[in-house]
Structure 1
Amino acid sequence: MDTSSFNKADELGRRQFMVNAARSYLGVSLAPMLGSGLASSAFGQKHVGGAKAEHVIFLNMGGGMSHLDTFDTKPRNKEVQGPVESIDTSGDFQISQYLPETAKIGNKMCVINSMTSKQGAHSQGQYLLHRSYSPRGTIVHPAIGAWVVRQKGRKNTTLPGFVTANTSPAVSSPGFFGAEFGGVPLGRPDEGLKNSSRAGSVSEEDFKKRLAIADALNKTFEESYQTPAVKAYDSLYEEAVKLMQSKDLEAFDINKEPASVQNAYGKDRFGQGCLLARRLVESGVRFVEVSHGGWDTHYDNFTNVENRAKTLDKAFSTLVTDLDKRGLLESTLVVIATEFGRTPRIVEEHNSGRDHHPACFSAVMAGGGIAGGQKYGESDKGGARVAKDPVSIQDFNATIGHALGIDHAQVVSSPSGRPFRLGGAEAELGNPITSIFG
């Protein structure tokens, strides 16, 4: 039999085949489960670095969050700062008036005000942020969540190791690592893991019969198409059924939380995504990403940043406080990241807008062994350039790896034999910011 056409099929095509098969034969959609649920153990990883963190919650501020109006205010430079005032925090730094609740937990976080990137366009900047590499036409690099699952393995062998909410499916791509390390992309956080239970029209007996038929088909199919991809998917039904029958599936249901807790996070999609992230790491999920977009403030920057910051402020401060109360903050690294910042120049003809600015911007880390109450790095007096301790995207991702005990410089080869690292290419290899750990 000629297997060449299947062997050349792309990852999405193989996934869709399995989704359609599951829907037709089992009466259930397994789409959300295709991916990191198959990755159960680390691949030859030597533990280095801080190694206090067991989980990561990655809060992605898509669109380019203005550092000057959030975490790197310039109170002595009104030409740059505009109408935004600075407020004191419980740490050794000031932040924007738009983040009053975050100011109260300043003693639990480290603000990095010297981020810098070489990518000033959204798609390329987001790609670099998530993968430590710039996009290339010849390869798709693994997302950082896929790196974490591959190098650390799953903590809870029933649940996926990598979950995303409110994000583009591309963010959860495992690249050349293969489907078993991909993330599970969710739509709305309040809808949980959709289509993951047996349909009411399919009885338990009928379901078992269909599973038996699927098993027989799988064996025949695997014998005909003996490729690593097919062998990986051979475990799909076993893993999916295990999850469907497990109480751990409740981790995806934020409606199990009291109304007071849901309200504390905020009833918007980002707030509910942060609540879901807390529930997932509490149940052993390694890496959860929640996106909060809308930061592309070319027009009416101050109104838009205030609105976006209000949502971020409520959810982030509640998340950190909640993790701390539950004894999970020390083992959970929470990061706020964005692809680039915004220009110091206020564009008056665009109703006081700010444009893209990759030369200097801000990020935040809390928990996971990070010493709170501190600021790392500095921008110049106008917030245009890094003045002290520059931090590249590769450095930032290497620091995440350091918190988890992952060697950011360890080489993992692609199927074609090319070397890749969590910390980026050898010429741009990142270095973890070890001084911010306690």
Structure 2
Amino acid sequence: MTISRRQLLQQCSAGFGSLALASLLADEALAAPPVSQDSAGTHLPHFPAKAKRVIFLFMKGGPSHMDTFDYKPQLQKDDHKQLPFDKPRVQFAPTGELLASPWKFKRYGESGIAVSELFPHVAQCVDDLCIINSMHGTNPAHGGASLKLHTGSDSFVRPSMGSWVTYGLGTENQNLPGFITICPTLAHGGTKNWSSAFLPANYSGTPLGNASQSSEQARVKYIRNAQLSRNSQRLQLDLIQSFNNKFLDTTGPDLALEARIKSFELAFRMQTEMPEALELSQESRATHAYYGTDDPVTADFARQCLMARRFAERGVRFVQVTHSNSEVQWDQHGDLRKGHVQNAAEVDKPIAGLLRDLKSRGLLDDTLVLWGGEFGRTPTCQGKGHDGRDHNPEGFTMWLAGGGVRSGIQYGATDDYGYYAAVDKVHIHDLHATLLHLLGLDHLRLTHRHAGRDFRLTDVAGEVVQGIIA
């Protein structure tokens, strides 16, 4: 008997479905982290690591590099003159003549690095900093640039760098999340900036509060169960997990379900350690003063930085702290003098306190601290009164400290005015490759099979910046 092609496809549809399912399951089987594990389940790095964890201090909005850590004498001389070369082909908004920095710079420490008077406290720690003055990206808009910095892509949904780090290394503390983000902004990418995307859900960031709330409210919701004892909760969870595991036995590998099982267990275990980790009253009065929690100007960000140190010493792999003043941020298209003064005053002392505290506890050696925003600002002015700067992804500054980077150095350079990265340029992909390298991870090998191909944080680019590694 002969059958038509349509009849063949109809009768064999279940078979084609099985083939498709087998292909998907094969992809998932290949999706395990390409690293080995120790007896505690912690993933082992590809090679000996210089850093064990990361604290990312994200300055939302884009700090002006030529007003903070990239001193430009020529810009000071040519205030109000025209830029002597072409501006980028793609700009966020029109800008005018050159705008000299309103702030004085002074050289500090044995390294003699010039730092703006906006950061008098961080300047005292300059010999611990590795300042990259040649960063550059591709997107002049907040949303795209923020996603690029956090995930490596400005146009697609990709896992965040915190998710990639925990995917590669796991956590050092089974009772706390491997990736925590404190008071994250809900704008310009929002949850995508700390999402695990197509990685298993248990590698997603755990948010504490958000940028519209005081850091005093940065807590885990429902961390205490007022109705059930821990024994009762354990019995309840064991029953649920038995159903999940039976279902898993029938389906085979199921990353979503396995991640859900892990997240349930973590949520139960967090009840024992998260409340204690968030109890800042355990810290001495001197420590609080060190960070500035006793000053209304610095208190909010100081609490975030203090929480970050407490999480770091408890084995959380990746902690993000976001400064995103809802009224000002670092996005001064106008009122540059007012906005940057306010922002710097809120973060300067807490950041210096964090660096000194980590160093005094011996944690800075294996904790990598990263500071910066999604881009820098233009050396040309914007807005009324010669008092604003536009977005500039063509050249900007980020700095690192601890975790195996060289200290007391400036790496790379922008041009004489600070518009373009010009010497030893470092792309966002290069920064990500270097961050993973310091953690003992090869960015070319840290991959995840999804939708038929291998993905990585650095996509198809990225070079480790050997010049900043100690």
Tell me the residue number matched to 2:468: 436
Secondary structure of residue in 2 paired with 1:408: coil
Secondary structure of residue in 1 paired with 2:369: strand
Q: What amino acid is the match of 1:269?
A: D
Q: 1:165 offset after TM fit, Å?
A: 0.7
CA distance in structure 1 between the aligned counterparts of 2:116 and 2:456, rounded to whole angstroms: 36
Q: 2:221 aligns with which of 192, 195, 220?
A: 195
Tell me the residue number matched to 2:57: 59
1:278 aligns with 2:305: no
Tell me the residue number matched to 2:387: 352
CA distance in structure 2 between the aligned counterparts of 1:240 and 1:289, rounded to whole angstroms: 20
Q: 1:271 offset after TM fit, Å?
A: 1.8
Q: Aligned residues: percent identity?
A: 35
Q: 1:98 aligns with which of 118, 122, 146?
A: 118
1:174 aligns with 2:189: no
1:154 aligns with 2:171: yes
Would you say the 8 A contact 1:57–1:290 is kept in 2? Answer: yes
1:257 aligns with 2:283: yes
Q: 2:257 aligns with which of 226, 230, 246?
A: 230
Secondary structure of residue in 2 paired with 1:369: coil
Secondary structure of residue in 2 paired with 1:98: coil
CA distance in structure 2 between the aligned counterparts of 1:337 and 1:151, rounded to whole angstroms: 24
- Sort the Cα spacing of 1:374 and 1:303 in 2 relative to 1 into closer, same or farther, 3 A: same
Would you say the 8 A contact 1:192–1:253 is kept in 2? Answer: no
Q: 1:382 aligns with which of 394, 417, 424?
A: 417
Would you say the 8 A contact 1:59–1:335 is kept in 2? Answer: yes
Secondary structure of residue in 2 paired with 1:290: strand
Q: Which runs of 5+ in 2 are unaligned?
A: 1-16, 18-39, 80-98, 294-298
Secondary structure of residue in 2 paired with 1:305: helix
Q: What amino acid is the match of 1:61?
A: M
CA distance in structure 2 between the aligned counterparts of 1:46 and 1:223, rounded to whole angstroms: 31
RMSD: 2.5
Question: TM-score, normalised on structure 1?
Answer: 0.83
Question: TM-score, normalised on structure 2?
Answer: 0.78
CA distance in structure 2 between the aligned counterparts of 1:248 and 1:231, rounded to whole angstroms: 23
Q: What amino acid is the match of 1:395?
A: D
Secondary structure of residue in 2 paired with 1:384: coil
Q: Deviations over 1:296-351 (max 9, x none)?
A: 11110121011111222111111110000000001000011211111101225266
1:291 aligns with 2:310: no
Q: 2:138 aligns with which of 115, 118, 134?
A: 118
1:46 aligns with 2:46: yes
Would you say the 8 A contact 2:47–2:441 is kept in 1? Answer: yes
Tell me the residue number matched to 2:102: 83
Q: 1:171 offset after TM fit, Å?
A: 2.0
Q: 1:75 offset after TM fit, Å?
A: 3.5
Q: 1:377 offset after TM fit, Å?
A: 0.7
Q: Matched residue pairs, number?
A: 393
- Sort the Cα spacing of 1:57 and 1:189 in 2 relative to 1 into closer, same or farther, 3 A: same
CA distance in structure 2 between the aligned counterparts of 1:130 and 1:147, rounded to whole angstroms: 10
1:329 aligns with 2:364: yes
Q: What amino acid is the match of 2:53?
A: H
CA distance in structure 2 between the aligned counterparts of 1:211 and 1:395, rounded to whole angstroms: 43
Select between 253-262 and 331-340 the one with higher mean Cα deviation.
Answer: 253-262
